[in-house]
Amino acid sequence: MNLENRIIKSKLPKNAEGSRLDNYLAKRFTYHPLETWREVIADNQILLNDAQCCESTILHSDDILTYTPRGLEEPSVDLEYSIVYEDEHLFVINKCGNLPCHPSGPFFKHTLWHHVSTRHGKIYLINRLDRETSGLLIAARNPETAGKFSKQTAKMEKEYRALVFGDFNKVFDADGYLIKDTASIIRKKRHFVFADELPDAAENPSAVRTLLEPVWSKNGFSLVKAILKTGRLHQIRASLFSLGFPLVGDKLYGPDDRIYLKIRENKITDGDWNNLVMRRQALHSYRLNFTHPVSLKKMEFTAPLPNDFNLLK
């Protein structure tokens, strides 16, 4: 990926067949409304199969869409991070809780990937964290090291700390599945069920396992240790929510998932922020244990809890 000029190229999925270009973009990439996407198309920032197109162009699956954004204002982020270890092959980085790891949506230069790459040469992220998740991650300095990491990611031990609502006072071996949360108005929200509770009608269930242990409980909040045995999207957040312990600050898996839509529509209120307690989701990548892909040395790193975790203790 070019560090200065962002070029987004993708093959259109089957469900794009027969759609108008402008409608597809507005539905698929919600960081722009329909009218803005029409302006982007008119400005020739969108190419279809390397050719100019118009807003009413009808799409076909397997078409190649290229987007070269110009003048895209990126949301502000917190560029606080520290490199806790580095050698000629890799970095171990501790990032803050308001910094995207990788270019996505409206974020490009306001990402950890871009900031580190412009200062140390292009990096290759091994494990990515959500924008609002703080803590440790690994970045390879070259494709060869990244390739070697890919062969051992299943053996890498990842331990998190999660701050939740409620009195979390027992150990859970959350061994089961993530399925679609049919009770939620949010299409992408997932729900955890134990293996023996999997509904017969569940579509494409994802097997997951998370070991959850209490650390402390006080004033209606608890700190939970979470060790990942699998690596699925939203695994810790969805598992804790489904067990009755929503994550503090989480707009999707917190106390009220309608806040997720309010933020997208810029309608969040002071009352909503008060209900969330924290401005970002209280999830922290606390410990990483892995084998160095070149030296084969066992390595372990921990990152202390950030200051915002201590506000409720």
CATH number at residue 267: 3.30.2350.10
The reply to whether 172 and 222 lie within a common domain is yes
- Tell me the backbone φ, ψ of residue 24, rounded to 5 degrees: -65, -45
Rounded Cα–Cα distance for residues 232 and 204 (Å): 13
190: left (phi over 0), alpha (psi -120 to 50) or beta: beta
The reply to whether 199 and 51 lie within a common domain is no
Residue 197: inside a domain: yes
The reply to whether 62 and 87 lie within a common domain is no
Residue 72: inside a domain: no
Residue 31: inside a domain: yes
The reply to whether 172 and 274 lie within a common domain is yes
Query: Are 78 and 96 in contact, with CB atoms under 8 Å apart?
Result: yes
Position 109 scores a pLDDT of 87
Position 178 scores a pLDDT of 97
Q: What is the dihedral angle through the alpha carbons of 127, 128, 130, 132, rounded to the nearest 10 degrees?
A: 90
Measuring CA to CA, which residue among 158, 309, 295, 305 is closest to residue 236? 158
Position 5 scores a pLDDT of 66
Q: Look at residues 40, 67, 94 and tell me which one is the last residue of a structural domain.
A: 67
Predicted confidence pLDDT, tens digits, the chain (313 residues): 555 667 888 899 999 999 999 999 998 888 788 999 999 999 999 999 999 999 999 999 999 999 888 777 788 899 999 999 999 999 999 999 999 998 887 788 899 999 999 999 999 999 989 999 999 999 999 999 999 998 887 789 999 999 999 999 999 999 999 999 999 989 889 999 999 999 988 888 999 999 999 999 999 999 999 999 999 999 999 999 999 999 999 999 998 999 998 988 889 999 999 999 999 999 999 999 999 999 999 999 999 999 999 876 6
The reply to whether 147 and 165 lie within a common domain is no
Domain tally, the chain: 3
The reply to whether 147 and 293 lie within a common domain is yes
Position 98 scores a pLDDT of 92
The reply to whether 250 and 187 lie within a common domain is yes
**Tokens in use for 116?**
């580190």
The reply to whether 47 and 89 lie within a common domain is no
Rounded Cα–Cα distance for residues 292 and 303 (Å): 18
The reply to whether 181 and 254 lie within a common domain is yes
Query: Are 30 and 264 in contact, with CB atoms under 8 Å apart?
Result: yes
Q: What is the CATH number of the domain that holds 24?
A: 3.10.290.10
Rounded Cα–Cα distance for residues 113 and 90 (Å): 13
pTM: 0.83
Residue 109: inside a domain: yes
Residue 227: inside a domain: yes
Position 69 scores a pLDDT of 82
Residue 76: inside a domain: no
Residue 75: inside a domain: no
Q: Which residues contact 270 (CB under 8 A, 6 or more apart)?
A: none
Rounded Cα–Cα distance for residues 267 and 59 (Å): 33
The reply to whether 202 and 299 lie within a common domain is no
Single-letter residue type at 234: H
Rounded Cα–Cα distance for residues 106 and 96 (Å): 19
The reply to whether 243 and 174 lie within a common domain is yes
Q: Look at residues 41, 67, 93 and tell me which one is the last residue of a structural domain.
A: 67
The reply to whether 49 and 145 lie within a common domain is no
Query: Are 214 and 245 in contact, with CB atoms under 8 Å apart?
Result: no
Residue 305: inside a domain: yes
Residue appearing with tokens 């200051």: 307
Please give the residue range of the domain that contains residue 111: 81-151+289-312
Rounded Cα–Cα distance for residues 291 and 87 (Å): 14
